[in-house]
Amino acid sequence: MSATTSTEVRPATADAISAAVLLLADGMPVAVPTETVYGLAADARNAEAVARIYAAKGRPSFNPLIVHVTGLEMAKTLGEFSPEAQRLAEAHWPGPLTLVIPARADNGIADIVTAGLETIAVRCPAHPVMRALVEAVGPLAAPSANASGQISPTLAAHVAKSLDGRIPLVLDAGPAKRGIESTIVAATGDGLRLLRPGPVQIEGVVEAGSDKIEAPGQLSSHYAPSKPLRLDAVSAREGEVLIGYGDVEGQITLGKDPVSAAARLFAALHEADAAPEPCIAVAPVPGDGLAAAIRDRLQRAAAPHD
Ligand code: TXA
Ligand code: MG
């Protein structure tokens, strides 16, 4: 998406919600009120749509995103609930609690949403507008609707100021009631771990101590292909499968622009890893914003394995 999209702010009437459903179904990100903060939502099963979230926010790297669901039934199609996780969901949903659980392989969620982790963050929001959209479109990935590095928006006006010209629509439903992001609890192994404190207080949860992904190392290793990877390649050398971008043509391509490159990145790495050539080369991906996030990911994939 270009930085010249015109951004409309509309009261979240039934008409405006219908317009948002059409945009979401068309792969566009839309800013949506939730009870915590305004989120920038996109269809979690559409990799390009999710890539547009990163493009609009200018995130410097791919952090995993929270997937919003209508309830436990939908959440169970996305990940595995331990009895403890189920108990928390039943006690606090709909509401400002996010659960990080093992992802189901058949969940249909784009790889870019989980940034290559084997876990998935799911949350069932209480806000009627976000709920209506998830009901109509399906699971929606949504980080806070602010440009990267800025504070989370609790008013439509905050979103408009931060993302003006980068997204087509902001649904305005007044101030977000809670004003801080959801509590995040991981239920991925033994016991529960608090990854981010928030509006919901949970008894007996071990503090993991930060608003960070659990094992940052996982991010660098999980999608590292098993083969050596050479960056900034303009042509393939002997024994290399080339992943092209822009004007550099390869056997595999990331496309012509950062949004398509982000959407295809993980699949391209998998495909190159499965190719007969013993080595991988990747074309340069110049630029800032989303392009920089792609380079960050590629550098991790190129780093020696530990
Ligand atoms: O209240 C909220 O949670 C808001 C509204 C829009 O729902 N969303 C939000 O999203 O705060 P975001 O992207 O700003 O924060 C998501 C957090 C990040 O800290 C990310 O690292 C963590 O969730 N996260 C997502 N998936 C994860 C995973 N699989 N494992 C560990 N942490 C994860
Ligand atoms: Mg945020």
Global pTM reads 0.83
* DSSP H or E segment with residue 102: strand 97-102
Single-letter amino acid code for the residue at 172: D
Mutate to test the pocket of ligand 1, among 140, 181, 183, 218 (most ligand atoms within 8 A of CB): 181
Q: Tell me, using a 6 A CB cutoff, whether residue 213 lines ligand 1.
A: yes
pLDDT tens by residue, 183-223: 999 999 878 998 988 888 888 787 765 444 443 333 443 45
Residue 71 CB: number of other CB atoms within 10 A?
15
Please check the confidence at residue 224 and state whether its pLDDT lies above 80: no
User: CA dihedral defined by 109, 114, 88, 146, rounded to 10 degrees?
Assistant: -100
The residue behind tokens 């099963």 is 45
Confidence of residue 241 (pLDDT cuts 50, 70, 90): very high
pLDDT category, 296, cuts 50, 70, 90?
confident
Q: Is the CB of 53 under 6 A from ligand 1?
A: no
Confidence of residue 37 (pLDDT cuts 50, 70, 90): very high
- pLDDT (tens digit, 9 = 90+) per residue, 261-285? 888 887 788 789 889 999 999 999 9
Section 116-142 average pLDDT:
97
Q: Return the CATH number of the domain spanning residue range 8-207.
A: 3.90.870.10
**Residue 150 reports pLDDT greater than 90:** no
DSSP bridge partners of 281: 230, 242
* Structural domain boundaries in the chain: 8-207, 229-302
Instruction: Indicate which residue's Cα is closest to atom 15 of ligand 1.
Output: 143
Assess contact for 261 and 254: CB atoms under 8 A: yes
Ligand 1 atom at shortest distance from the alpha carbon of 184: 23
The mean per-residue pLDDT over the stretch 145-173 comes to 92
How confident is the model at residue 98, as a pLDDT?
97
Q: CA–CA separation, 160 vs 157, rounded Å?
A: 5
